[in-house]
A and B are shown apart, each in its own frame.
Chain A
Amino acid sequence: MKTGIEVSHSLLRFLTCGSVDDGKSTLIGRLLYDSRLIMDDTLATIAKDSRKHGTVGEDIDLALLVDGLEAERQQGITIDVSYRFFGTPKRSFIVADTPGHEQYTRNMATGASNSDLAIILADARKGVLTQTKRHTYICSLLGIRHVVLAVNKIDLVNFDQATFDRIVGDWATFASDLGFASMVPIPVSARFGDNITQRSGNTPWYRGPALMDHLESVDVDQDTASKPFRFPVQRVNRPNLDFRGFSGTVASGKIAVGDGVVVAASGQQSRVARILGPDGDQATTAAGEAVTICLADEVDVARGDLLAPLADRPDVTDQFAAHLLWMDEETLPPGRQYMMRIGNLWTTASVTSIKHRVDINTLEKAPAKKLDMNEIAFCNLSLATRVALDPYVENRATGAFILVDRFTNRTAGAGMVDFPLRRATNIHAEQFLVDKHARAALDHQKPLVLWFTGLSGSGKSTIAKLVEQALHAEGRHTYALDGDNLRHGLNRDLGFTDQDRVENIRRVGEVAKLFVDAGLIVLCSFISPFRAERRMVRELFDQDEFIEVFVDTPIEECVRRDPKGLYAKAMSGAIQNFTGVSSPYEPPENPDLRINTASDSPERTAEIVLSHLRGLIRAG
C-alpha cells in the first residue's frame, strides 16, 4: 500500500529572514497556498480576517496564514520564530519564519541553528539593507551553507532587470567571502506568485530556477555520516542489574557492534557490545539515529559523556575560543559565571576575555569590554570541568553550546567553538603536603570567610572591625579585606562599571581563598552588589567555610548617614555607577546572617556575628 509518500522522500529545513515589510510571511503563505496545503475552512477564516486586519485591500492576505499570535496580527509584525510545514511530491519542508527587527536577531540565530538553507528577503524597492547584511552574516556564522536571495516585490519595480542586477551585485560583494556553498538570487513577487512555483513570464530575462524548483532540488547533504563518530550520552538506561546501556542520538558518523570506542573526557576504552534501535537490536548505527549502546566493559559513563572512536577523538579541554552571540537583556560582563550546556553536559563557565566584537554590519572587528543583546564577539571561555568538543565548522553537534543565566535560567548566549586553548593542558595544580587543615591545626581554629555585603554606608566595615578586634583578643588569627583598601593596590586598575565590579570581586575571592588556605579567618567587607558574583565567591570555598552576612541597612538610612559624602555626590551626578543610586544592588536571598543596623547598635550586631561564629571556629 502507498500512502502518497515516496521512500526517497527527504526533508529540508530552511529559514526565511528579512527586514520588516520585506514580505516573509507573505512568501511563506504563498508557498503553503501554492502547494495546496491550505484547507477550505482555514482559507475562509483568512478571507474573513483579511477584511479585518489585512493590508492588501480586497485580496486574501497570505501573510495572515502565518502571523499567528493575536498581538502581532494587530501590530502587523511577526515577533517570534514560527515553524511551518508543507510538502510537494519530491520533498517535505519545515520552514522557520524569523523576524527581521534588530532586537530579534537572536530569533534568527535560533532558526538558523536548526536549518540547512536560508531564504534572505530583500525588498526590490529598498535593495540590500543593514539587516540584509546582518542576516547573511548570521547565516554564515551559524554554519548555513546554502542561501537564496529572494528579491521580493519585483512587481513594484516593474520587473526591472537592472534593479535586480544592482541588488544582487551589492549582496554578492558582501556575501561572497562568507563561505557559502551555494548563493542563488531569484526575483519574486510573493503576493502575485512570480517565480515561486514556476518561472514568470514577467521576468523573461531571468534564466534561473523558480524558488520551489530550487528548494526541491538543492543538495544540502552535510554528510554527517562520513564525519567521525560522536555519541553524546543522554541518559543511562539501567532498568535492572542485567542491562546497562547508554541512550542518545548519534551526532555524527557511524559505529558497528564490535568497534572500539573511548569515553572522550576520561580516556577509558571499551568495545560496542550491542546497539538497540527503536525496533530492537541492530548491527550498526549512524548520524541522526536515537539508539542505546551497550559496552563490553564496565566503564564509567554518565549523562554528558561523549563516546568517540579510538582513532579520531575530539579535543578535551576546559578553555577554548569561540564566537558568542549574546541573547539576554542583561549585559555579559567577562568573569561572571553562567551555566553552560555543551552536548548533554551542563557545567559552569565564564568568558575570561573578549578578544573583539564583530560589527555585523561591516564585519569589522572592534575592541569590547562587555557584550549587549544581539552582539557577537570572539571570546575566550573557561569551564569548571574538562569537556569533549570539536570546532563548530567541523561538527555542528559537538561544537555548539548555550549559556544560561544562573538566576533567571534564561538562555543568555549561544556559542560556536573555534578552537581549544592548549595552555589549559600544560598547567597542572601542584599538590603540597602541608595543606590548610595542617596550617589551621597549628592555630587551633577553623579557617573561614565572613563576607559582609550591603550598601555603601550600611556599616559593613564598622561591624567587621569590631568582630576582628574581638576575635584577635580571643587569640584567633584573622585578616580583613576591605573594598576601599584593595582598590588602592591590587585593584587600582579597576573602576566601577559592572564589568569592573565583577573582576574586583573575583580577585577578592581568590585572595580570600589564599588566606583561608593559609589557615586564617578572613573578614571581607565589599558592597558586592551582584548575586552572581557572591555566588561565584561562595563556590570557591567548602560549604562551611563561607558565611554571608547581609548588612541590611535601608538606602534611606545610608543616605542619611552618608559618612563619606558619597551619596550626595552620586545624587548630584558627580559620581557615576553608584550602588543604590545609579547602579543596582541585588540583596541576598538566603544570607547566613541578616544584620539590622537600624534597630541594633554596632556592638550588639558584632556580638550577633560573634555568637554565630563561636560554634564554627573551634578547630574540630
Chain B
Amino acid sequence: MDDPEVGKGAILLTPRMRQLEAEAIGILRETAASFRNPVLLYSIGKDSSVVLHIAMKAFAPGKLPFPCLHIATGWDFRAMLDFRDRRAAELGLNLIVHTNPEGLARGINPIDHGSQVHMNVMGTEALKQALDKHGFDAAIGGARRDEEKARAKERIFSHRTAGHVWEPRNQRPELWGLFNTRINQGEGMRVFPLSNWTEFDVWDYIAAENIPIVPLYYAARRPIIRREGMLIMRDDDRMPLAGGESVEALWVRFRTMGDWPLTAAHESRAETIEQVLRELRESRVSERAGRLIDKDQEASMERKKREGYF
C-alpha cells in the first residue's frame, strides 16, 4: 500500500469506521480463502468503489486475487463507463464486462419495455449468465442492510441454490464470525462486506479515504427532462421527448448510480464531498427515492432478490 499519509483526506477514521473497515477486510479475505472462483461485482457506484478500495487493502502487498465483473446494460451513464475504464487501468484490475447478448439482439430497453422487463433481462438475467459462463461460486457486492427493509435480514454470506435462487426461509444462521462458506456443486454465495454500513458511513469513509467516485455524484449543470415529478438526465438521444417536454440545463447530482433513464437526479449545488455530506445530513429523503425501479410494486426488492437480482 501507499504511505499512510499519501492520498488521505483530512478526516481521521473514527474507531467505529475502523471497526467497519476491519470487518469488511475480514469478509473479503474469507471469500478469497474459502471459494474456488470468486468475483467482485463492480457496479461502478459509490458502494462498490468502497468495496474495491477495501479489497486493495485486504490483499496488499498482493493484487486482487479475483476478477471484477461489470454487468453493462447498454444504458449506463457514459460517465460511469469512462470512470470504470480509468479505474481498471489505474488499479490494474482484471475487468470482465458482460451484456446479455439475447437481450441486446432483441433490443430490450427501459423506454419501450419498461423498467421491470429491462432490469430483469439486462440486469438479473445478465448477471446469472455471467456467473454461469465463468463458473463463479462467490459474488461480492456492495449491498448494505440499511438500504431497504428486505435487505435488513440479508446474511453476509448469502446462499444461492443451483439456479441462483435465494430462499428466504433457508438462509444459514451466522453466529460469531464463523461463516459457513460450504456449498455443493453448482450452488453459489453472494457476499456483502458492507452489510453493517449505513449510507452515512459510506460517505464518511469516501471522504476520509479520498476514494475516487463517478463525477455524477457531484453537482453540475446537466441536460434534464422533468417527467412524472422526476428529474431525468438525457445522456443521449435514445429517449424521445413527450409532448410538452423540453431539455433544461439544471444543477443536479445523483445519490445512486444505475441506468440513466431509471435514475432520478435531484437539484443540488453540492460540488465537493464536504458539500455532499452536508446535504445528506440535512436530507429527509431516503437513498432509494431516486430509483425508479423500486417504485413498480410494493416490496419489489424482495421479489427481485428471489429472482436473483443483486
Nearest chain-B residue to A94 (Cβ)?
Answer: B196
Contact B14 A110 (CB under 8 A): no
**A385 interfacial contact with B, CB 8 Å:** no
Q: How far is the CB of A337 from the nearest CB of chain B, in Å?
A: 14
A289-B22 in contact given A66-B152, A303-B33 (Cβ < 8 Å): yes
Nearest CB of A to B180, in Å: 5
Q: Tell me which of A3, A71, A239, A401 contacts B204 (CB under 8 A).
A: A3
Flag whether B59 is at the interface (Cβ < 8 A): yes
Choice from A1, A327, A344 contacting B11 with Cβ under 8 Å: A1
User: B175–A402 contact, CB under 8 A?
Assistant: yes
Cα of A65 to Cα of B172 in the assembled complex, Å: 24
Q: Are B26 and A237 in contact (CB under 8 A)?
A: no
Minimum CB–CB distance for A106 against chain B, Å: 6
Q: Does B244 touch A at the CB level, under 8 Å?
A: no
Q: Give A67 to B11 CA distance when docked, in angstroms.
A: 36
B153's contact among A82, A109, A249, by CB below 8 Å, is which? Answer: A82
Instruction: Evaluate contact between A110 and B173: CB separation under 8 angstroms.
Output: yes
Q: Assess the B61–A243 pair: CB atoms within 8 A.
A: yes
* B180 A411 Cβ-Cβ under 8 A: yes
28 A–B pairs (Cβ distance < 8 Å), ordered by A = A3-B207, A3-B277, A39-B284, A39-B286, A41-B285, A68-B152, A69-B302, A70-B303, A82-B145, A83-B153, A85-B145, A110-B173, A113-B176, A237-B59, A239-B61, A239-B62, A240-B62, A247-B29, A248-B26, A249-B22, A276-B1, A278-B22, A278-B54, A289-B22, A290-B29, A400-B176, A409-B183, A414-B175
Task: Name which residue of chain B comes closest to A52, CB basis.
Answer: B298
- The CA-CA distance from A3 to B153 in the complex, in Å, is 29
In the bound complex, how far is the Cα of B47 from the Cα of A358, in angstroms? 45
Contact in complex: B30, A234 (CB < 8 Å): yes
Residues 241-260 of chain A, each 1 if its beta carbon lies under 8 Å from chain B, else 0: 00100011100000000000
Q: A7 at the A/B interface (Cβ < 8 Å)?
A: yes
Q: How far is the CA of A85 from the CA of B21 in the complex (A)?
A: 16
Inter-chain residue pair count (beta carbon < 8 A): 182
Q: Nearest chain-B residue to A235 (Cβ)?
A: B33
- A9 contacts which of B14, B145, B303 (Cβ < 8 Å)? B14
Q: Which of B161-188 contact A (CB under 8 A)?
A: 168-169, 171-178, 180, 182-184
A89 at the interface (CB under 8 A from B): no
Q: A1-B11, A3-B277, A42-B286 are known contacts. Are A290 and B16 too (CB-CB below 8 A)?
A: no
Contacts of B281 in A (CB 8 A): 4
B175 touching A79, Cβ below 8 Å:
no
Q: B4 on the interface (CB 8 Å rule)?
A: yes
- Residues of B with Cβ closer than 8 Å to A? 1-4, 8, 10-12, 14-16, 18-19, 21-23, 25-26, 29-30, 32-33, 54, 57-63, 145-146, 149-153, 168-169, 171-178, 180, 182-184, 195-196, 198, 200, 203-204, 207, 274, 277, 281, 283-286, 289, 298-299, 302-303
User: Cβ of A58 < 8 Å from any Cβ of B?
Assistant: no
Whether the pair A41, B289 counts as a contact (CB closer than 8 A) is yes
Instruction: Tell me, in angstroms, the Cα distance from A68 to B298 when the chains sit together.
Output: 11
> Taking the complex as formed, is A450 at the interface, i.e. its CB lies under 8 A from any CB of chain B?
no
In-complex Cβ contact of A109 among B25, B150, B173 (8 A): B173
Residues of A within 8 A of B12 (CB): 7
Do A400 and B16 touch (CB < 8 A)? no
- Establish whether residues B286 and A409, one from each chain, have CB atoms under 8 Å apart when the complex forms: no
Indicate whether A237 sits within 8 Å of B62 (C-beta atoms), given known contacts A69-B150, A80-B168, A404-B180. yes
Report A-chain residues with C-beta under 8 Å of the C-beta of B174: 110, 114
Bound together, the chains give a CA A396 to CA B175 distance in angstroms of 11
Chain A residues contacting B151 (CB-CB under 8 Å) are 68
Given contacts A402-B178, A414-B173, contact A288 B150 (CB under 8 A): no
Q: Give the docked Cα–Cα distance between A99 and B84 (Å).
A: 42
Given A39-B285, A41-B289, A278 and B146 touching (CB < 8 A)?
A: no
A279 contacts the other chain (CB 8 A): yes
Report the bound CA distance from A542 to B303 in whole Å. Answer: 48
Verify if A11 is at the interface (C-beta below 8 Å from B): yes
Please, which residues of chain A bring their CB within 8 A of the CB of B274? 1
User: A6, A67, A73, A288: which contacts B14 (Cβ < 8 A)?
Assistant: A6
Contacts A66-B149, A234-B29, A290-B26 aside, 4 further interface pairs with beta carbons under 8 A come to: A40-B285, A42-B286, A70-B298, A243-B61
- Which residues from B are CB-within-8-Å of A109? 173, 175
Known contacts A234-B30, A341-B178; decide if A9 and B152 are in contact (CB<8 Å): no
Residue A92 lies at the interface, judged by CB distance under 8 Å to chain B: yes
**A247, closest chain B residue (CB):** B29
Specify which of B1, B60, B145 lies most central, judged by the most chain A CB atoms within 10 Å of its CB.
B60
Is A5 in contact with B14, judged by CB distance below 8 angstroms?
yes
Chain A residues with CB under 8 Å of B146's CB are: 84-85
Bound form: Cα–Cα A611–B237 in Å: 74
Closest to A342 in B: B178
Q: Are A401 and B178 closer than 8 Å at their CB atoms? A: yes
